Structure 1
Amino acid sequence: MVRVPELDELTQARRLSEVEQMARELIALANDSRISDVDVTVTVEVHGLRDVIGEAMHIRQVREQAAQLEAEAQELSRHLASELSKADVPVRDIGIVLGVSYQRAHQLISH
């Protein structure tokens, strides 16, 4: 169910991805305006849960931070693997040092 509190009206959406459009259509119809002129802010309320959107945004931020850290770890791994290889450390030992398979160590050296 989609509730537009400013109009004290309800509409329906089958999926969360449809909520914004359905609300915009309802508001445009009620105000005799164009859909493109209507801005909405979607909040999600689930019985028993608080701040669903806020938690989802936090999860996205954490995922983004994790991706950045993973990219940094890969770059550092490539650098150390290259340095160890130049020092004639065997690929299998490089894998052990980095905590990766020897195949992955070989890939890191090859990049």
Structure 2
Amino acid sequence: MTTYQVQVTRDGKFWLIHVPAVERWTQARKLGEIHEMAQDLIEIMTGDPGESIELDITISLPEEVQERLDRAAELRSQASRAQGQAAEEFSSAARTLHDQGMSMREIGEVLGISYQRAHQLVSQNSKAA
């Protein structure tokens, strides 16, 4: 099995497909055609049967789009961290209420959660401490 690098870019209505190993280009009208077109090109240029060809396809996006995707990934990461911190604070609030003598039912009612969830939060916070 031979793996071929395939570099793909959008140009107008078409996807341009470059296979550096055979130093050739082809094109596809739709994204779903890229694999087939690249494999056909490699088969023609090398004589290798299709079943012995593996493709590593990299799609290059316009710089503006890539920047937006990178920013979106960073924001998702920040949101995930913030969500974890919020959960820790919520658990700490439940533990503080418990330490002040509130029952699990009262904690649940005050925080808008079930008493079972209040118990989980208080127990979880106790284990972490």
What band does the TM-score fall into relative to the shorter chain?
0.5 to 0.7
Q: Tell me how far 1:107 sits from its aligned partner.
A: 5.9
Q: Tell me how far 1:43 sits from its aligned partner.
A: 1.4
Amino acid at match of 1:7: R
Q: Tell me how far 1:22 sits from its aligned partner.
A: 4.3
- Greater strand share, structure number: 2
Q: Which runs of 5+ in 1 are unaligned?
A: 96-101
CA distance in 1, matches of 2:37, 2:66: 17
How many correspondences in the alignment? 96
Superposition pairs of residues 1-111 of structure 1, within 5 angstroms: 1-5=14-18, 7-13=24-30, 15=31, 18=32, 21-22=35-36, 24-32=38-46, 33=48, 34-36=52-54, 38-45=55-62, 50-89=63-102, 90-91=106-107, 94-95=110-111, 102-103=112-113, 106=115, 109-111=118-120
Q: 1:69 to 1:87 in 2, by over 3 A?
A: same
Q: Tell me how far 1:23 sits from its aligned partner.
A: 5.8
Deviations 1:32-66 (A, max 9, x none): 25531x43321134xxxx53133223212311221
CA distance in 1, matches of 2:76, 2:37: 30
Quote the RMSD (CA, aligned, Å).
3.2
Q: 1:88 to 1:31 in 2, by over 3 A?
A: farther
The percentage of aligned residue pairs carrying the same residue is: 14
Q: Tell me how far 1:70 sits from its aligned partner.
A: 0.2
TM-score (norm 2): 0.52
TM-score (norm 1): 0.58
* Equivalent residues of 2:16, 2:25 under 8 A apart: yes
* Equivalent residues of 1:85, 1:91 under 8 A apart: yes
Whichever of the two has the greater Rg, that structure is 2
